[in-house]
Amino acid sequence: MIAKMIKGKGFRGALEYDLNAHKGHLLDSNMAGATPMSLAREFAFIRALRPNLSKAVLHTSISIHPDEKLTDGQWRDVAQIYIREMGFADNQYVVTRHTDTEHPHIHILANRITMQGEVVSDSQDYKRQEAVMRRLEREYGLKSVEMSKEAERKALTKGEVEHILRTGEASVRMRLQKLVDSAIKEQMVFSMFAARLAEHGVEIKLNEAKTGRVSGISFSLDGVAMKGSDLGKAYTWNSLQKRGLSNETGYGKGYESGQEKGGSTEPGIKQSLGRTGNAGNAPGLTEQTGDDEAERQRRIAENFARLEQAYQGISVDCDHRRSRSKELSR
């Protein structure tokens, strides 16, 4: 069972999504309205009690494995337990069940402001939410999901959760986390680590400072590039070394043209450690294949360039959504 919690500013947009007749149906509510407009108006009455609270919206999706099933009554009980345990017993809420994806799931939309005008505390809410999920898994005999280590592994974004719910496929971030974890289960040198990931289509780029010191690591899979820190603290260069990754090859110094110290070469891998960009950019793990290698390096560079473009796109999209939410909430 997976829960994804998001705090937002606008009720109307979330209501339009949750109450879409093509996605599912209304499951439970303690409100009088039945349409996005009427419900948004009701939410606004209580929201007015705390005009300075910027994010009054709590939007949580709870999903189970495609092979598992819960009845409407069971889903209603799941929602009630979540609402109560997370501190929203005295708050407005709307629960919908969506049936438009392989993953059965519900959406809980709640006002963070209570009927008395207090704001529900969000202290350690992600940790408390996970405890509720594990409890529900036990009570309903559902497949258990390991506790996520927030400090070690980045939580899923809203887009990733929606992707899972829509397609049943793991996101690139989840796949990279799993592949890296599998590749570094014991002490190993960097070349072996890179070779294991390469078998699964993962490309690596090390970020090297002008002094020659490696300061970071990035991964690319299926055309999507992510920094180690984007996967979580456990996937940064320093953390990977603590987990057993050895840089004994003398990366950038004694390890050139695929040669480890002593002159040996990792079987099946030819590596070039010449710089692949401007000063300050890391040398990459490359295969010496002439024109094909030049094309491959161009593609890798494009993949990592998407990082900056993606961040810019997210910023623009957020601004658009904020503007759209304001229009819908009027």
What pLDDT, on a 0 to 100 scale, did the predictor assign at position 158? 65
Q: Shortest CA distance to 91 belongs to which of 69, 113, 75, 76?
A: 113
pLDDT digits (tens, 9 = 90+) for 239-266: 898 888 886 544 443 232 233 333 333 4
Question: Quick one: 180 and 88 in the same domain?
Answer: no
Could you tell me if 201 and 270 lie in one domain? yes
HSE toward the beta carbon, residue 226, CA cutoff 13 A: 21
Final residue before a domain boundary, out of 154, 186, 213: 154
**43 assigned to some structural domain:** yes
**Three-state helix/strand/coil letters over 232-267:** CHHHCHHHHHHCCEECCCCECCCEECCECCCCCECC
| Residue 101 shares a structural domain with residue 41 | yes
Residue 44 maps to which CATH number?
A: 3.30.930.30
| Separation of first and last alpha carbons in the chain | 36
Residue 303, domain member (yes or no): yes
> Considering the chain, what percentage of its residues have pLDDT values greater than 70?
68
Q: What is the pLDDT of residue 269?
A: 36
Tens digits of residue pLDDT in 66-89: 889 999 999 999 999 999 999 999
What are the pLDDT digits (tens) for 202-223? 999 988 777 778 889 999 999 9
Q: Can you give the pLDDT at residue 219?
A: 95
Quote the domain boundaries for residue 97.
2-154
68 & 126 share domain: yes
pLDDT in 10s for each residue of the chain, 330 residues: 889 899 998 999 999 999 998 888 999 999 999 899 999 999 999 999 999 999 999 999 999 988 899 999 999 999 999 999 999 999 999 999 998 877 889 999 999 999 999 999 999 998 899 999 999 999 999 987 654 444 466 666 767 766 776 676 788 988 999 899 889 877 888 888 999 999 999 999 988 777 778 889 999 999 999 999 888 888 999 889 888 888 654 444 323 223 333 333 343 333 333 333 333 333 333 334 455 555 555 555 555 555 445 445 544 454 554 555 455 445
pLDDT at 327: 53
Are residues 91 and 221 both part of a single domain? no
Assess whether 115 and 54 both reside in one domain. yes
Residue 296's pLDDT is 53
The share of the chain scoring above pLDDT 90, in percent, equals: 42
Examine the domain organization and report whether 188 and 96 are in the same domain: no
86 shares its domain with 220: no
Please tell me the total count of domains within the chain. Answer: 2
Do the domain assignments include residue 325?
A: no
Number of other residues whose CB lies within 10 A of the CB of residue 217: 25
- Do 61 and 202 lie in one domain? The reply is no
Same domain membership, residue 141 and residue 6:
yes
Indicate whether 202 and 59 sit together in one domain: no
